[in-house]
Amino acid sequence: MAKKGKQTRSRVYKQIDLVGVGGSTEHAIESAIAKASETLTELRWFEVKEIRGAIQGGRVSEYQVVVAVSFEVK
């Protein structure tokens, strides 16, 4: 609770899940956030929820990262 005489600005956020795909986990996260930022504003934070990948020829061929992304609702 805020102290008397001091106002705290109220904020509301919406959270959505995205799946980014890339050659590394970092690239997968960054591509998901970059794509989301094309249509969403006020992106604030992300949380990695899942990491998985595809295997071809005995090697990792791509990573899939599920990220929860939040943005401020105006």
**Domains of the chain with CATH codes:** 13-72 (3.30.1660.10)
pTM of the entire predicted model? 0.80
31 pLDDT band (50/70/90 cuts)? Answer: very high
Find, among 15, 16, 24, 17, the residue nearest to 64 by Cα: 24
Q: Write the pLDDT tens digit of every residue in 10-26.
A: 889 999 999 999 999 99
Looking at the chain, which runs of residues are DSSP E strands? 13-22, 43-56, 59-72
Residues 6 or more apart whose CB falls under 8 angstroms from that of 18 comprise 32, 33, 35, 36, 66, 67, 69
Joined together, the tokens standing for residue 23 give: 């050659």
